[in-house]
Amino acid sequence: MSKPIIVILAAGMGSRYGGLKQIDKVGKNGEVLLDYSVFDAKRAGFGKAVFIIRRDIEADFRELVLSRIAGNFPCELAFQEMDSLIPPGALAKSKEVNRTKPWGTAHALLCARNLIDAPFTVINADDFYGREAFEAMVSFFAGCQAVSQSAGVAGGATGEGAIVPYSLEKTLSPQGTVTRGVCEIKDGYLASVEELTAIAREADGKIYNTGADGSKQYLPDTSPVSMNFWGFPPSVFDSLQRHFDDFLGSSAGQPKAECYLPTAADWLIKNGLLKIRSLEADSPWFGVTYREDREAAFKRLAEFTAAGVYPQELWE
């Protein structure tokens, strides 16, 4: 099987965190959170990492991240800027409303398209997913390869994607609201996913999303949610570009509109362009949405290292 690629979304602005959380140290030897994801991906059988970053953090990223990883695992950089891949008309509309930020995670993935020629997994730089999630995705890709070979399909892809969902209650931050793609799963496949941007546990002990109009939407604790752990065949890019073009057509004049991967996945499903399998992985999750989350992440990683899940030195 062609070794799958791990794609890491690391171009975020970190507005709630108050800084560049994708390169903030959380390991005792200076590791950042994505070090552990790349390490897990490598030992699960991935063959290359593609990091999507902004040009203005390239020097720091090379010094603080690639200086450790690149000698141990093949790495490439892709760059997401506000004007990357944006047609002149849409770019002009965005400048009229003084837009300053890129266009979201679906846009980020398109910025790495020319570096991806094999089945790939997309993850966030500021989330910890656990080795079980990477192993489940590699098994999925191997199954797709076997099916495509038996069917005589070139390229080792069956046209299916995958997601490793997590239980909502385990993905909240005590520091404030979070954004999650709330999933509906039927017969082992993702039926829909809705990106909700203000989820928190409230005083009554229940979890709600607060809409832009102040309305409350109750969400069960065990709701499966996307943490942007997606698996896709490389053939997805043509459809993803169509979705992003549609997004620009309706939202180029909005200063803060973003094209999210969960929303794109929902569009792909509803238009019959991709089936997305839901994978089961008994895998922990934690992240650093807010700066106050960092200490908890540091502690958990230290516990994993003490338990032998990770070596004392990730990259020797």
pLDDT value, residue 12? 66
For residue 311, is it within any domain?
Answer: no
Three-state DSSP at 175 gives coil
By CB atoms closer than 10 A (0-12, 13-18, 19+), residue 121 is: buried
Tell me how far apart the alpha carbons of residues 32 and 257 are, in angstroms, rounded to a whole number.
29
pLDDT value, residue 17? 35
Q: Which two tokens stand for residue 126?
A: 């500021």
Residue 226 belongs to what domain range?
A: 5-306
CB-based contact 46:89 (threshold 8 Å): no
pLDDT digits (tens, 9 = 90+) for 100-156: 888 999 999 999 999 999 999 999 998 999 999 999 999 999 998 766 665 554 444
Q: Is the pLDDT of residue 74 over 60?
A: yes
CB-based contact 291:20 (threshold 8 Å): no
Q: Which of 213, 191, 210, 188 is nearest to 199 (CA)?
A: 210
For residue 314, is it within any domain?
Answer: no
For residue 279, is it within any domain?
Answer: yes
Mean per-residue pLDDT, 237-265: 95
For residue 173, is it within any domain?
Answer: yes
CB-based contact 247:170 (threshold 8 Å): no
For residue 248, is it within any domain?
Answer: yes
CATH number at residue 222: 3.90.550.10
Q: Is the pLDDT of residue 184 over 80?
A: yes
Mean per-residue pLDDT, 281-300: 84
Mean per-residue pLDDT, 190-196: 94
Q: What are 231's strand-pairing partners?
A: 121, 162
Q: Phi and psi of 178, rounded to 5°?
A: -135, 160
CB-based contact 216:206 (threshold 8 Å): no
pLDDT value, residue 156? 40
Provide the CA 14 distance to its chain's centre, in angstroms.
14
Q: What percent of the chain has pLDDT over 70?
A: 91
Three-state DSSP at 247 gives helix
For residue 280, is it within any domain?
Answer: yes
CB-based contact 49:73 (threshold 8 Å): yes
Mean per-residue pLDDT, 202-207: 95
Query: Domain count of the chain?
Result: 1
Q: Which of 118, 117, 88, 81 is nearest to 102 (CA)?
A: 81
Which of 77-81, 112-116, 153-157, 301-305 is predicted with the least confidence, judged by mean pLDDT?
153-157
Q: Is the pLDDT of residue 237 over 90?
A: yes
Within 10 angstroms of residue 107's Cβ, the number of other Cβ atoms is 26
Q: Is the pLDDT of residue 311 over 60?
A: yes
Helix axes 236-251, 261-270, angle to 10 degrees: 110
Q: Which residues contact 11 (CB under 8 A, 6 or more apart)?
A: 52, 53, 54, 79, 80, 102, 108
Tell me how far apart the alpha carbons of residues 20 and 295 are, in angstroms, rounded to a whole number.
16
For residue 295, is it within any domain?
Answer: yes
Q: Which residue has the tokens 């942007």?
A: 228
pLDDT value, residue 19? 44
pLDDT digits (tens, 9 = 90+) for 22-54: 666 777 777 888 999 999 999 999 999 999 999
Q: To the nearest whole number, what is the mean pLDDT of the chain? A: 89
Mean per-residue pLDDT, 182-211: 95
pLDDT value, residue 155? 42
For residue 123, is it within any domain?
Answer: yes
Q: Which of 160, 147, 133, 97 is nearest to 285 (CA)?
A: 133
Tell me how far apart the alpha carbons of residues 307 and 42 are, in angstroms, rounded to a whole number.
20
